[in-house]
Structure 1
Amino acid sequence: MESIAGGFGDLLRDAEQLTADVDTGSELPRVEQTLHQIMETSQRLWTKTAQLGTSEAADVKASILLGSKGLDIPRISQRLETLSAVKTYEPLEPIADTDIQGLLRNERENALLAVIEETKRNTRLETEQRFWQSKQNEWEVEKQRILNTLIGSSSELIDVSAETSNLFSDVSTRIEGRSAMDSMEMAYARQVYIYNDKVVKGGMKPNLISLFEEMAQQFEDKRIEDFWAMVREMSSVPMTISSDSVSVRTEENLQMAFIRQGRKFLEHSYIEYISNIIGDNLRQARLGGVPGVYQLVKGFLKVKLPAAVPGLEDGLVEGLPVWPVIYYCIRCGDLDAAKITTRKAAQGLGEFSEYLEEYMQNEDRRLSPSTETKLRLHNRRAVRNSTDPFKRAVYCLLGRCDTMDNHAEVCEKTEDYLWLKLSQVQFGESPSSSSSSSQASSDRLTLQQLQTTLLEEYGESHFSAHQNPYLYFKILFLSAQFEAAIEFLSRHDSGLRSHAVHAAIVLHELGLLALPGNIQAQLLSRDPQDPLPMHRLNFVRLISMYTSKFESTDPREALQYFYLLRNLRDTSEKSYFVRCLSELVIETREFETLLGRRERDGARRPGAVDKFQVDTQSIIETVAMDTETKGLFEDALKLYDLAGNTDKVLELMTRLLSPIIASSNSPQSNRERLQALSISIAERYQSKGLTGSPANTKSFYLLLDLMTFFDAYHNRDLDRALTTISQLQLIALSPESVDDRVHGFKQYTDEIRRTLPDVLLATMTILYTKYRSCRSSGTQSPQARAGQRHENGGKESFLAHLRKQAKALITFAGMLPYRMPGDTNARLVQMEVLMN
């Protein structure tokens, strides 16, 4: 009790001492309120605080919270308000002009920021532009591939009219059997083969047009014969040998020759037309007299010209109007017959006989500038308003004037209109240009103007091209627009496409076809540097599209067409013949047919490509490189073997064997096929003494031995497998050999290194299996146990030997500078632990 009383006394003294300290040492006044008064005061203060606004209340709460930590809220707010909120890349505001240093610094920073912003913007725009350009190029390639596939797979995918489909109906019957080519295509392919065979053998280059004309005669189709007659006529021009066909095509002399040949073809065709009309109306024509164009024209007019045609002028010749006779004689190309007519009616034609005489003197049917000016003046004064349409047409022909007049009364057919316009085409300076008359200059028709009118202003719809494609092709072809004509005809069914393709072949062989510089260009494209309306035809793509139909069934025929591309090269100077051959081989997989094969004795059996007497080994190696690039390694190594590239064969063989040597050998598996292939290659190379680089040769034969090891392992022939792996000296099976094997491992290629985890696991599994078998040998027969002890020098000694090999294997795996899969080390350690 005394102790308790003493404790309360101490507490009382301490309380009194605290009260005394508060009274004397504190600046705060004493609180002389009861607890109830303190609670009321607190409640009043809280009510006053709650009446403040949201922002004020937040300020109060923030002041209470942060003020306890010694932070002055009003001062911090003032400092924050003075901070600038300028953006990172926003140009700085100008400063006072008197601060030179600040002004320069500000200008420098503004210039840097402007450069950074401009660079960012340009980079973003260039990136977007390159991205979309890349996407567009990829789509163009894919689009052309799809179109080529569609066109090659079925000609029915292109909608043509019944008239078009029946145009060559007699020759579009398909050959029954494996070939995808019809009789027309087979006939063309046969002529191409004959042509290529003569080219390969050397000597005088054969006439390809003659070969195609002979083929056309076999089908007895008039339109095919006319087609090749037109191609022959337009290609019979004096050519300047040059690698740039575009520059040659734009030469004035060659264009004049094209005009002359086109006009000549139309004139010969018109003579045939007149002869046919007369042949059907012999009684009405009443030819008689000496055969010739003059008599034909007279007979034709008796049939076609009505008895009384209003408006004809200048009298009659032998009972027929003079100007129709003159016009049709010129239309048939016989100016001598027109001259005979002029002489018989000389009294009524004035100076026209002089104009015609001079017109006949020039091969290109040109008048001298003075005579042409004189004729044009006479035409403008007296002839233009004449009621005789034939007279107006003849004067416009000779004077090449009134080019906007189509002379519909005279030109009944499209061929007549084309002949008239070809006759009015002028070259060089206009004879009326010296008069500086705008009307005279606008009355001048150039070849480019005529081509633009026919192709772009009129176009396919004006001429109903899809109802009569041959006519529209003739219009474009005779106006020297070969590329556009061929592209148009190639868009129709196979009966027409084959003619277009072979016309392109003829023009290409003659150097008359304008080709694009980029193989990725569309079939018909235009170079901005070429004069309008010059187009370029992608000849390589045209041949590829044509052969895509039958290349899978007739690869030899497709190869003949690809040989026509031998002189065309891409940007890497690789021949398109080799490129197309490579794609053909990869698509059809006709390796032996096209490239030959390797016999068992190592001799190479020739393929279809050998007939062209080219560097076959280089071609085969190029095809092998393309095949390897596409990831077809097994096909590539066969091609490299065919080309005699031993090192590449061994390299690809090791690349193919490495992933599959650890798997079991099941029938008809990849492993069985590759093992048989590798063994045949190894036997042949050893018999011939062929080797590649030391690394590839060593890796190849080591992989073959490892396949033997795994075969024994999967067949449970553990003793043979362990003996094999020991002889290979690839891994360490004794402590003494660990360092040597680790050092030797650095000399192996990656293909060998990748097989090491499987080799280690298989070897450790063999050791563990033999260890367990030996441990459980007590259940075996006494004879077996006696034989085992005799062979291994005792059971315990043999078990210790296996443990020693396993430990060496673990040590070797740990020292290898090679990162193996995580579970490999775990499994190795687990089996080694179980053996101890």
Structure 2
Amino acid sequence: MTRPNENANASQPTTSDGLSNRCTKLLGDLIESSRNLPSSGSDLGTITLSVNEIKRRARELRAMKKADSNHTKAHYLLANSGVSIQDVDYCLASLESRQLVEQHISKESDGDLDAYLRVKKNENILSSIEQSLMCAAKDFDVFVNQNFNFDWEKRKEEVRENFGILMKKHKSNSKTSSASSSSRSFPWGSSGRRILDGESKLNVNENYSVRKKFEKYAIIINSFNNARQADRSFNLPKEFLTQFSSSSDYSDRQIHESWKILDEVQSYNTVTVASRHYLERHFLSYVDDLYKKNLSEGLPTNANKVKSFIECKLKNPDNTWKHPNLTVVNGLPVWALIFYLLRAGLAKDALEVAIAHKLSFKKVEQSFLSYFKAYMASPNQNLPHELVTRLHTEYNQHIKNSLDGDPYRTAVYKIVGRCDLTRKNIPTIVLSIEDWLWVHLMLIKEEVSSDEPIYERYGLKDFQGLITSYGASRFQNNFLQVLLLSGLYEHAVEYAYTLSESDAVHLAIALASRNMISVSNYDASDAKSFVSLKGEKKELNFAMLIGNFTSSFKFTDPRIAVEYLILIAMNEDKDQVSLCHEALRELVLETKEFTILLGKVNRDGTRIPGVIEERQGLLRLSDEQEFLHRITEQAASKADEDGRTYDSLLLYQLADEYDTVICTVNKLLSGLLSNTDLDQPLLNLDDNSETNPVLIAKRIMGIYINNLEIAKTIRSKSKENCLLFLKLVDIRRVYLNEEWRRALELIEEVDLIPFADESSCRTKAQEFSTLHPEVLKVISNLLIITMSCISHIVDQLKRSDYPSVAKEEQSAALRKVAKNCMIYAGMIQYKMPRETYSILINFEVDI
């Protein structure tokens, strides 16, 4: 009959882990119970058998084991122990695997204790390596969790927003996103304004014509910067005008006319005067061309040219005048002649015509000469107050509402006296757009007095408001010229951008070069528009405009990109200068064209400046060297961070960070020595000093050590490590040439491995942790080379036809060195690659 607890155990399944734990407890109880058994002294004496003999007899006893597992005789022993024989049987079975392992080891040992110990040693090594790999995997998981801890919900929202799925955001999310964006920092230390992240649709390499236009502009900008650097004058609009001829396309024609306007108006102080004079010269040129086509009698005076123009424009084919109310004297419309002489900027000629035809004036017109003479005598064409009052009275009473009055008389009175400004147009005269602009510019008063009635005030702002209210549709294909002539330069750039981005950018550059536009502070939050409204006036985000344009060719033409970006600092505004510097940093780090932008170092150590350094005189730098050092150092750090070691090496040289250069070279040498197979050369015939770390190190050390100023900046430890690596390179070369003894001599000289005695092994092992990380990487290969050299030399001595005591002593000395190496390797085995120790053991066996 079984006990109730045994029944319960029999009816329920038990897991292997549960049984294992229970077996452990049962065996422990059994051992504890055995201590209560009676015992007596033994007269067998001590065991004097060897380990091998014990193992042999143990195998014999196991061979005599019966096939069945009848433990009946043990029941009497276990009866009072509380232990079930079934449980003991399971525990014995669970230990079977361990027994099989020991048998396997025993069979491999074949009675050889040294072989057994070697197998156990290898097992210990592999176990330690597995533990090391597990720790490394765990460390890697921790690193991934720390460095790639993404907020997946936030990333999901960003992706959805990019695809236009998420159209609306909660205010809280917007604030969070904004805060995150504003707090984002960049490795080069800028404010994060990202000037070159524009969305330009321009492709300067789209086709031949676009590329040709781009290159023409680039040549002019380069010449412009050369002139600025040499402090020479340079007429940018005239250069544009010379390079680009007129085109049948209306957009190109507008741009061409714009260069003409800027070329002529940039030397004037006020917009009104500049634009008025431009329109007058342009009209006179037109009259002159017309006169040449329709030559008439008389001398080619300005008055005769204007008369010829009037004949062409105001007469019908039947030789009658188009306007029936013209005042014609001797076949000449006097008031029309005066008006068009004024229109051509020939005010003196107009006064002469008025004086010559004084007698033909009507009674109400007799006082006009006094007004006209006062108008001509005034430097700003402003009549004295008393004359203004009289002229306005006569105009309102007799001129304005005259049914049979000459329309050109009305126009001349209106211009000279600035009369009836509530109605600035002259409806009975057909005016071109240029004529209309000129009339309004003549009516504008530069300085408006507050004493004047509101309806008599008409300033430039009023005129500009009228232009913008009409818009582009009112002026057809002349809107760009109208904007420039009315002084709306920011509007002109904005409108030109709709015609051609490239032309608009250069229009802005030409305007900025003469301080003709208002430049705003950079606002990265509004990346869709480079024009902002400040009060009633627009401002141009010049840096954004240049940055967007430059982003379209920064990778294909980085040198040209510099020429444009330095224009941001053209005017000495601190914010613009700062933006210029940031843009240059971005260009360097994004394009990675370090040689072009920052320069390079020749093989002899001489430095060739890059385009940024060549243009440093235009960068408005308080400390030129500090800026170049900073931008170069930041680029070097970024290149090093991205794993572009050779780029960082160049940049650190340019930044005069010579100690960092040596450290970088040491890193390259360490990688080469530790990663190159021992049967492969470190130098090939096609290697050069630009790419091979060995040649780089030799060249740099030759330059730096011989230069006292540079040598002072290099730490002694960095220099020592570099020289050590170069010695290791020589060791590899000698080893590859199978000069075993010479290789051992060189290895002993570098003093990284214990050669002397066993006590030096512990000393070197203690020093191991103090070595530079780059030096630690080469120790394993150095140990392998050492053991390989010893193995080859010992093998040569063994195969010698004439053995001698000296050779035996040499072999013994070499084995002693090998033993020291193995002891040293055993102390640092877990700090070396996993296969190194196995390789060393194989060499030890051969030796």
Please report the TM-score for the alignment, with normalisation by the length of structure 2.
0.61
Larger CA deviation: 675-684 vs 221-230: 221-230
**What is the Cα deviation at residue 291 of structure 1?**
1.6
**What is the Cα deviation at residue 265 of structure 1?**
0.7
Contact kept, 8 Å, 1:718 with 1:766, in 2: the verdict is: no
Alignment of 1:625 onto 2:656: no
Summarize deviations over 1:156-206 as a string: whole Å, max 9, x none.
8xxxxxxxxxxxxxxx7987xxxx965x4476367537624xx53xxxx53
Alignment of 1:736 onto 2:796: no
Contact kept, 8 Å, 1:383 with 1:392, in 2: the verdict is: yes
**What is the Cα deviation at residue 234 of structure 1?**
1.8
Look up the match of 2:34.
none
Look up the match of 1:535.
539
Look up the match of 1:302.
311
Contact kept, 8 Å, 1:659 with 1:755, in 2: the verdict is: no
Larger CA deviation: 604-613 vs 678-687: 604-613
Summarize deviations over 1:3-47 as a string: whole Å, max 9, x none.
xxxxxxxxxxxxxxxxxxxxxxxxxxxxxxxxxxxxxxxxxxxxx
Alignment of 1:753 onto 2:776: no
**What is the Cα deviation at residue 278 of structure 1?**
2.4
Contact kept, 8 Å, 2:519 with 2:541, in 1: the verdict is: yes
* Change beyond 3 A, Cα 1:127–1:619: closer
Contact kept, 8 Å, 2:546 with 2:568, in 1: the verdict is: no
Look up the match of 1:64.
none
Alignment of 1:426 onto 2:445: yes
Q: In the alignment, residue 649 of structure 1 is paired with which amino acid?
A: V
Contact kept, 8 Å, 1:771 with 1:802, in 2: the verdict is: yes
Contact kept, 8 Å, 1:709 with 1:721, in 2: the verdict is: yes
Look up the match of 1:450.
463
Look up the match of 2:673.
661
Q: In the alignment, residue 279 of structure 1 is paired with which amino acid?
A: K
In the alignment, the residues of structure 2 paired with residue 460 and residue 706 of structure 1 have an alpha-carbon distance, to the nearest angstrom, of 77
* 1:150 counterpart SS class: coil
Alignment of 1:637 onto 2:649: yes
Q: In the alignment, residue 130 of structure 1 is paired with which amino acid?
A: A
In the alignment, the residues of structure 1 paired with residue 774 and residue 214 of structure 2 have an alpha-carbon distance, to the nearest angstrom, of 50
* Change beyond 3 A, Cα 1:827–1:649: closer
Contact kept, 8 Å, 2:341 with 2:350, in 1: the verdict is: yes
Contact kept, 8 Å, 2:483 with 2:492, in 1: the verdict is: yes
Look up the match of 1:793.
809
Q: In the alignment, residue 749 of structure 2 is paired with which amino acid?
A: Q
Look up the match of 2:822.
806
* Change beyond 3 A, Cα 1:431–1:792: same
Q: 1:685 aligns with which of 704, 719, 724?
A: 704
Look up the match of 1:206.
232
Alignment of 1:126 onto 2:149: no
Alignment of 1:480 onto 2:495: no
**What is the Cα deviation at residue 462 of structure 1?**
4.0
Look up the match of 2:79.
none
Kindly report which structure 2 residues correspond to 1:302-341, keeping only aligned pairs within 5 A, or say none.
302-306=311-315, 308=320, 313=325, 315-341=327-353
**What is the Cα deviation at residue 834 of structure 1?**
9.0
* 2:268 counterpart SS class: coil
* Change beyond 3 A, Cα 1:401–1:580: farther
In the alignment, the residues of structure 2 paired with residue 777 and residue 759 of structure 1 have an alpha-carbon distance, to the nearest angstrom, of 27
Look up the match of 2:518.
514
Kindly report which structure 2 residues correspond to 1:273-292, keeping only aligned pairs within 5 A, or say none.
273-282=286-295, 286=296, 288=298, 291-292=301-302
Look up the match of 2:281.
268
Look up the match of 2:381.
365
Contact kept, 8 Å, 1:191 with 1:212, in 2: the verdict is: no
In the alignment, the residues of structure 2 paired with residue 148 and residue 719 of structure 1 have an alpha-carbon distance, to the nearest angstrom, of 68
How many aligned residue pairs are there?
Answer: 634
Larger CA deviation: 797-806 vs 261-270: 797-806
**What is the Cα deviation at residue 338 of structure 1?**
3.0
* 2:204 counterpart SS class: helix
Q: 2:719 aligns with which of 682, 688, 697?
A: 697
* 1:534 counterpart SS class: strand
Look up the match of 1:248.
none
* 2:429 counterpart SS class: coil
**What is the Cα deviation at residue 653 of structure 1?**
2.7
* 2:692 counterpart SS class: helix
Summarize deviations over 1:191-245 as a string: whole Å, max 9, x none.
537624xx53xxxx53312x8748856988798997655324322135xxxxxxx
Alignment of 1:150 onto 2:202: yes
Summarize deviations over 1:552-597 as a string: whole Å, max 9, x none.
5794x77666665665577696693796498379848483x77665
Look up the match of 1:167.
none
* 1:535 counterpart SS class: strand
Q: In the alignment, residue 628 of structure 1 is paired with which amino acid?
A: A
**What is the Cα deviation at residue 418 of structure 1?**
1.8
The runs of 5 or more residues in structure 2 that have no matched partner are 1-169, 248-252, 618-622, 677-681
* Change beyond 3 A, Cα 1:534–1:212: closer
In the alignment, the residues of structure 2 paired with residue 361 and residue 597 of structure 1 have an alpha-carbon distance, to the nearest angstrom, of 66
* 1:208 counterpart SS class: coil
Look up the match of 1:650.
662
In the alignment, the residues of structure 2 paired with residue 136 and residue 737 of structure 1 have an alpha-carbon distance, to the nearest angstrom, of 51
**What is the Cα deviation at residue 484 of structure 1?**
3.8
* Change beyond 3 A, Cα 1:126–1:506: closer
**What is the Cα deviation at residue 331 of structure 1?**
1.3
**What is the Cα deviation at residue 259 of structure 1?**
0.9
* Change beyond 3 A, Cα 1:642–1:212: same
Q: In the alignment, residue 202 of structure 2 is paired with which amino acid?
A: L
In the alignment, the residues of structure 2 paired with residue 796 and residue 363 of structure 1 have an alpha-carbon distance, to the nearest angstrom, of 114
In the alignment, the residues of structure 1 paired with residue 762 and residue 578 of structure 2 have an alpha-carbon distance, to the nearest angstrom, of 51
**What is the Cα deviation at residue 426 of structure 1?**
3.3
Kindly report which structure 2 residues correspond to 1:227-242, keeping only aligned pairs within 5 A, or say none.
230-238=261-269
* 1:463 counterpart SS class: helix
**What is the Cα deviation at residue 269 of structure 1?**
0.6
Larger CA deviation: 370-379 vs 572-581: 572-581
Q: 1:347 aligns with which of 347, 362, 365?
A: 362
Kindly report which structure 2 residues correspond to 1:190-201, keeping only aligned pairs within 5 A, or say none.
191-192=223-224, 195-196=227-228, 199-200=229-230
Contact kept, 8 Å, 1:562 with 1:580, in 2: the verdict is: yes
Q: In the alignment, residue 480 of structure 2 is paired with which amino acid?
A: F
In the alignment, the residues of structure 1 paired with residue 447 and residue 590 of structure 2 have an alpha-carbon distance, to the nearest angstrom, of 53
Contact kept, 8 Å, 1:268 with 1:332, in 2: the verdict is: yes
Look up the match of 2:103.
none
The runs of 5 or more residues in structure 1 that have no matched partner are 1-120, 157-171, 239-256, 435-439, 815-819
In the alignment, the residues of structure 1 paired with residue 536 and residue 747 of structure 2 have an alpha-carbon distance, to the nearest angstrom, of 76
Contact kept, 8 Å, 1:152 with 1:547, in 2: the verdict is: no
Kindly report which structure 2 residues correspond to 1:45-194, keeping only aligned pairs within 5 A, or say none.
126-131=175-180, 145=197, 147-148=199-200, 150-154=202-206, 184-185=216-217, 188=220, 191-192=223-224
Q: In the alignment, residue 152 of structure 1 is paired with which amino acid?
A: V
Please report the TM-score for the alignment, with normalisation by the length of structure 1.
0.62
* 1:514 counterpart SS class: coil
* 1:188 counterpart SS class: helix
* Change beyond 3 A, Cα 1:193–1:135: closer
Q: 2:436 aligns with which of 405, 410, 417?
A: 417
In the alignment, the residues of structure 1 paired with residue 445 and residue 779 of structure 2 have an alpha-carbon distance, to the nearest angstrom, of 88
**What is the Cα deviation at residue 425 of structure 1?**
2.5
* 1:152 counterpart SS class: coil
Alignment of 1:525 onto 2:530: yes
* Change beyond 3 A, Cα 1:186–1:603: closer
